[in-house]
Structure 1
Amino acid sequence: MNDSDFIIVGAGSAGCALAYRLTESGKFRVTLIEAGGSDARFYVQLPLGYGKLFYDPAVNWLYKTEPDPGLAGQRDHWPRGRLLGGSSSINAMVWIRGHHADYEEWGQAAPGWGWSEALPAYRAIEDNEAGADVFRGRGGPLFISANRTGLHPLVHNYLEACAEAGLPTTPDFNGLSQEGAGVYQMTIKGARRNSAARAFLRPAMKRPNLRVITKAQVTRVLFEGRRAVGVEYRQGNATHSLRTKGEVILSGGAVNSPQLLQLSGIGPGALLQGLGIPVLHDNPNVGAHLSDHQGINYTFRMKVPTYNDELRPWWGKLRAGMQYFLGGGGPLAKSINHAGGFFRTSAAEPRPNMQLYMQAFSTLLPRDGERPILTPDPFPGLSLGLSNCRPTSRGHIRLKSPDPLAHPEIVANAFSTDHDVAEMLLAVKYLRHLAAQPAMAAVIAEELRPGPEVSTDAALIEDFRKRSGTVYHPSCTCRMGSDAATSVLDPLLRVRGVEALRVIDASSFPNLIAGNTNAPAILMGWLGAQKIMTSV
């Protein structure tokens, strides 16, 4: 199928939405190439099964950062989806768009990406169980669970404690106001994960103008002069090439897309020359500006039962399995993040700068080869977590080797600015403030992590450097913008310096959205397709 109008590299959140939109009219022929395999796996489809995917090389790139001084010299684990649906097939399924002002900032950096463009796109994407209004959509391809039933009873304690602390209950984080505490909407449908593959790609695969190639890792973009004309990829032990009469679109995500650009000769010139890669276009922004949210949990032993009591013993697993398979309910049918919220660490902040997560379980005890969500601690535990929304620390993605199968260098630079350290210190103090409210204090037996002995500012900072880590939202490494000196892409997502090549995924974000990044990654694919169709 060398007559494709478009080759999309990567079947993640953006790539699946792109394939759906570009094939919808029947006008274009599209080939989608994915390095991983099928998403037809039990633990992919089971909502609470994502702990089993956390270290599974069959579905996960299993990236590691370089030792990070900001994380006490540790190498952070970066799971990224390597299968149909990409990271939307292994994530925690929380549906957060981001603050309205985030998109206003996008629109300032890249015209055409403001809130006035994002809102109608989101409403077209969604089939929201909560119903349609000026913010939510109904009838779109992506069903969004309102997550209003089957919540753990401790959600009520959490919401009451937030109210006691002055953080009001918010009915919809994607609605009028993001600030407050509430229940998270989820990409879950019929007690199954509703990934981008399920919502967008599977329907599109029924169309005759879409071809999907799996277990095929693209190793470089092919050029004639400065025009992208196809890709080279490895499938098994064989190397193949595929050409297009139109455009190549990279949708590999914040790690793979800059890596592939660099392998193709687009990136920091001195770096590429040092690796023996011919430089097609010298742009130091490729792989730079890496932004990510850093998170931490405070863990408590509870006086009342939590999901630990339900999921730890064999008989509890049996009961949960029966609830799920016989009625489509119980703890296995949801993400572990039932509730959360957004707050400001200071009244001087113009909008929330921290995100909350409430989990009625704990996993202090490690388990080889997985994140032990399905085998939590052998005592009633609860976790209150948070992550920073707008970190100022920046890292980078760079090739370490010209071998396209080698992982690139990932330098996260977590907590590398005084700003990020200062606001995280205020944030962890706020977690304790929430836990001390009467509604939570009545059901908490003791704080286990970090423990009450960790009390001084210096000790709290040392603790979050040791225990924090990514919340899996890397972005901005091929960012778009109007200024060619500071961006990789123009506002139409075209790679500067070459022709017929675009990048459309989370790496394209002008800056990091305040919240989970699956929704804005899907938005990139949806709006990106719209911009392609109006410009070709």
Structure 2
Amino acid sequence: MESYDYIVVGAGSAGCVVARRLSDDGASRVLLLEAGPPADDFWIRTPAGMARLFLSDRYNWRYSTEPEPALRNRRVYWPRGKTLGGSSAINGMVYTRGNRRDYDHWASLGNDGWGWDDVLPFFKRAEDNERGASSYRGAGGPLRISDPAVMPRSVEAFIEASRQQGIPYVADLSSAGEEGVGVLQATIRDGVRQSAYDAFVAPVRHRANLTVRTDVHVRRILFQGRQASGVEVLERDRVREIRALREVVICAGALGSPHLLMLSGIGDGAMLQRHGLGVLMDSPGVGQNLQDHFSVHVKAQTLPGSSYNFDLLGWRQYWQGLRYVTTKGGYLALGSSLAAAFVKSGPDVDYADLEISFRPMTFTHNDSGSVAVDPYHAISASVYRVRPASRGQVVLRSADPLLAPSFHPNYLHAEEDKHAMLAGLRHARSILASQPMASCIVREMSPGPDVHSDERLVEFMEQQGKCAYHPAGTCKMGRDALAVVDAQLRVHGVERLRVVDASIMPTVTSGNTNAPTIMIGEKGADMILAARPSTTALSAS
């Protein structure tokens, strides 16, 4: 049987990091498996190409939630990456770590080694920040972190208007984890998207001890007793087994990792039995604790010069395309959001629980996921509560490993989330109504100038709210009855099996989740390597 020391399932933001670090010393043979195809595509490399990837059958799982009770039973579209790099190959490239107190909270829950001071070195190790190294930033690492290639004047207007609202300016918003307003950095190198695959795996793929395979669907984890011994895969319409001599590391993401555990007999025992699956470990927390950031947009029509919508339409889009191809500059080299304000929803909140992200352009997308740049000058500010109280779940739909589970995020289920989002909408409106931002704006388009009462604003959220594409928490780390992994990311109740991705977050971080997921990959790899001397390998025979 084909065998490796480590099998890493999922070549996403964490999986690419884990595979790279496990292969760094040359002593271990590492197999990285990805269900999707290679990521050799112009629109993946082009930052603005994320709009083209939003509905891609080839590179996107194109999930949808179940009907959401608090959103008038709408199904919400959930794009997730299906290629080398995972969602880091199709996301908005925004790089924020969250607040330092997020991690101190994780540690307070009994997860030793996960406080801010513990995780900061792993953030820094991954980074090559164009601003250089500092007490917060990393330089020389695999992942390039850069400032926007173009700085439209409306970005500066948004920052100054936020300051007029009493929000402090933070020069290093992406790195320091502070409340305030500032420019957002992105995972872009010289105008080209840097997915986790591009940064961590592509430069070392030639290594003899690293094997990367695409279009391989892992059906289940194999066990000898309670020790993970390998994986069963579907590859080219053939089912076969691959042996892991030391560990299997699941990095399939907050939606894929709990699904794979369930298919492997680890999950709520009653649910597994209903689908005819054997129960290896009754672990009721698998798939529970689902958290995601629920987002709404304030959109405003502007005077010419404050938005670059028209630069992405008509003949100008071809000029921008030529500019990008020849210089890797211009508007096609920008990520999704260029600035953000992190603020509190109320005076009794300990630290910022709202993110207001600013874009000098607008687009329209419906529940099916289709995207189109708006044919008028406009800007937008997206609002979401970064620490939602609502909790959802991933539920097994079938024992068929090719059929996705059902997703129930329960957006706005908690009343406090509604109250916080109302505060966020009012914060965003106040910023746009302050100078110098106000001088750029002709009129508000959504929610609309007539929508002011709590009731009307809640209706707007119910009708127009979307996900922010940050699912987390479904294999949470901890010691309580619903914890799935321990602080070393080892799956409770079995051996030689870990989960290393955003699913292990006890609570979702206060901002975009790609950077924390990469950090989890860095720290998880260190834990795996530290355990190697005391771990006896399975026999290869």
TM bin (shorter chain)? over 0.9
- Separation in structure 1 between the aligned mates of residue 357 and residue 82 of structure 2, nearest angstrom: 26
Q: Does 1:523 align with 2:524?
A: no
1:475–1:403 Cα change, 3 Å:
same
Q: 1:462 — aligned with what?
A: 459
Q: 1:45 — aligned with what?
A: 45
- Separation in structure 1 between the aligned mates of residue 495 and residue 177 of structure 2, nearest angstrom: 41
Q: Deviations over 1:279-331 (max 9, x none)?
A: 11111100000011111111111122311121111x11111012212222110
Code of the residue aligned with 2:385 in structure 1: it is N
Q: How far apart are 1:426 and its partner, in Å? A: 1.1
* Superposition map of 1:370-385 within 5 A: 370-372=370-372, 376-385=373-382
1:289–1:222 Cα change, 3 Å:
same
Q: How far apart are 1:2 and its partner, in Å? A: 2.6
Retained in 2: the 8 A contact 1:135–1:174? no
List runs of 5+ in structure 1 lacking aligned partners. none
Q: Does 1:504 align with 2:505?
A: no
Residue aligned with 1:535, SS: helix
Retained in 1: the 8 A contact 2:230–2:248? yes
Q: Deviations over 1:2-27 (max 9, x none)?
A: 33111000000000000110000011
Code of the residue aligned with 1:471 in structure 2: it is A
Residue aligned with 1:20, SS: helix
Q: How far apart are 1:364 and its partner, in Å? A: 3.2
TM-score when normalising by structure 1 = 0.97
* Superposition map of 1:321-400 within 5 A: 321-364=321-364, 370-372=370-372, 376-400=373-397
The farther-off stretch of 49-58 and 160-169 is 160-169
Q: Deviations over 1:310-367 (max 9, x none)?
A: 1111x11111012212222110011131111211121221111011111111123769
Q: 1:475 — aligned with what?
A: 472
The farther-off stretch of 300-309 and 259-268 is 300-309
TM-score when normalising by structure 2 = 0.96
Retained in 2: the 8 A contact 1:19–1:204? no
Retained in 1: the 8 A contact 2:80–2:87? yes
Q: 1:416 — aligned with what?
A: 413
Q: How far apart are 1:369 and its partner, in Å? A: 6.9
Q: Does 1:143 align with 2:147?
A: no
Q: 1:120 — aligned with what?
A: 121
Q: 1:88 — aligned with what?
A: 88
Q: 1:205 — aligned with what?
A: 205
- What is the percentage of aligned positions where both structures have the same residue? 40
Retained in 2: the 8 A contact 1:56–1:369? no
Code of the residue aligned with 1:308 in structure 2: it is N
Q: How far apart are 1:204 and its partner, in Å? A: 2.9
Q: How far apart are 1:435 and its partner, in Å? A: 1.5
- Separation in structure 2 between the aligned mates of residue 394 and residue 12 of structure 1, nearest angstrom: 24
Q: Deviations over 1:67-99 (max 9, x none)?
A: 001222110111110000000000000000110
Code of the residue aligned with 1:503 in structure 2: it is V
List runs of 5+ in structure 2 lacking aligned partners. 533-541
Runs of 4+ aligned structure 1 residues displaced above 2 Å come to: 174-177, 364-372
Code of the residue aligned with 1:525 in structure 2: it is G
Retained in 1: the 8 A contact 2:162–2:341? no
Q: Deviations over 1:387-433 (max 9, x none)?
A: 11100100000111111100101001000011111111111111111
- Separation in structure 1 between the aligned mates of residue 371 and residue 204 of structure 2, nearest angstrom: 33
- Separation in structure 2 between the aligned mates of residue 214 and residue 507 of structure 1, nearest angstrom: 22
Residue aligned with 1:458, SS: helix
1:25–1:421 Cα change, 3 Å:
same
The structure 2 residue matched to 1:491, chosen from 487, 490, 513, is 487
Q: 1:188 — aligned with what?
A: 188
Q: 1:35 — aligned with what?
A: 35
For the aligned residues, what is the CA RMSD?
1.4
Q: How far apart are 1:368 and its partner, in Å? A: 8.2
Retained in 2: the 8 A contact 1:230–1:248? yes
The farther-off stretch of 515-524 and 338-347 is 338-347
- Separation in structure 1 between the aligned mates of residue 39 and residue 486 of structure 2, nearest angstrom: 33
